[in-house]
Amino acid sequence: MGFLFIFNFNLIIFSYPLGSKHVAISHVAAIEGRGLNLGSHLKGPISLEQLKASKEEGKGRRRRATTKKNDPSDSKRGRVVMAMEAVRLLFCGVNEFPDSINFTRFFLRNHPHVQVDELSLEDVVDNIYKYDICVVRKMKFDESAISRATKMKLIAQFGVGLEGVDIPSATKVGIKVARIPSDDCGNALSCAEHAIYLMLALLRDQKGMDKSIASRQLGQPTGQTIYGKTVLIIGFGNIGKELVARLRAFGVHILAIKRSWKNKLAHVPAEGHDASLVDEAAGNEALYEFASRSDIIVTCCPLTPESAGMINDKFLAAMKKGAKLVNVARGGLLDYASVKAALESGQLGGLGMDVAWYEPFDPADPLLEHPKVVLTPHVAGVTELSYKNMGKIIADCALKISALEEVPGLEIVN
């Protein structure tokens, strides 16, 4: 049974008993003459200083308590007090994509009943039984790990990639698996911008410019423009659509391949069809033809058993000689030996990668040292915009689970 107390018509305390303990949530309820104000949401941008401060503040708050007895002084402070389940949230891996946990902690800084931890990948399996929610990041979450996750309610990715999660095993034991849709949180937009960054780095010869600076030479190398180029986008999901919107300003001819487009489509499909965003669109049967006409090829498709190693000898031989390749999806789409050989022969004119065949990268890898290769450390989707939004989504999910409510903002895949 719940109780509603009203004191002097100024403060409202809504309390649910849970034995002798209560958990306080942070919203201040005050009647200010114009209605109830529950505004505790973040206002304005988050600075790195705020993130660091909230991280330390959260540690101290967790040390103090996660639950408390009903305190009469709550009525003076105007706190909304209600029973909440204590929840433990785990981020897998230490010092991997660190702002994913920093932003999540920021949004949970006033909710001490949610404990947010990170563990090294080696320590996850032995401790996973303690946690209700797991954000896998780069963890391979197989049947062995899932079998020990006896409290687990949700396995989520801070982004979209779930190829490391054994989804059938999770489904078998009733654990939900989810990703954060990339279209609404800024992730796809960020990846699209990064793809253009890699295109420019290749066309303007980033490593050549670094060499000129080191040798104090001016006016070289001579670069190329994106203007007038033909760009092929392989995989026309959220990233592909965001990429098209930004490429239009560069004056390019855009081709797109999407598996569900079964045949080569009309030059201008019906308005409202995704294919209407590009100049030419087709299914996989046109892959090699489109590759032969493209100056720049961008891979945006997911890694599946069918797409693994698709950038192989046959594909690279079909490409226009000297064309550039950009990969902002998954390293496994590219066959290492084929790409290395194509770079050495000049068939492939440049490779821009935000992902590779193994991570973290080996800086001594001869392919990565090639003068026509530009590598970034898996940061295409790592922007303040996307991480702030995704951190808020994970935080909200933890709060909903603690309240035994349906989780928002996620795409459940099982």
For the annotated catalytic residues, the residue numbers are 330, 359, 378
Inter-axis angle of helices 238-247 and 187-203, to 10 degrees? 50
Tokens of 65: 């308590």
Q: How many helices (DSSP H) and strands (DSSP E) are in the chain?
A: 14, 19
Q: Which residue in this structure is represented by tokens 């979209």?
A: 160
- As a whole number of angstroms, the distance between CA 356 and CA 40 comes to 41
User: Using an 8 Å Cβ cutoff, are 93 and 141 in contact?
Assistant: no
- As a whole number of angstroms, the distance between CA 253 and CA 157 comes to 34
Strands (E) across 87-234 are located at 87-92, 114-119, 133-135, 154-156, 176-179, 230-234
Torsion on CA atoms 299, 300, 302, 305, rounded to nearest 10: -20
Q: Three-state DSSP class for 275? A: helix
The dihedrals phi and psi of 229, each to the nearest 5 degrees, come to -85, 160
Q: Which residue in this structure is represented by tokens 């890898």?
A: 365
Tokens of 215: 């040798």
Q: Which residues 6+ apart lie within 8 Å of 152 measured at CB?
A: 128, 131, 132, 133, 134, 146, 175
User: Using an 8 Å Cβ cutoff, are 228 and 251 in contact?
Assistant: yes
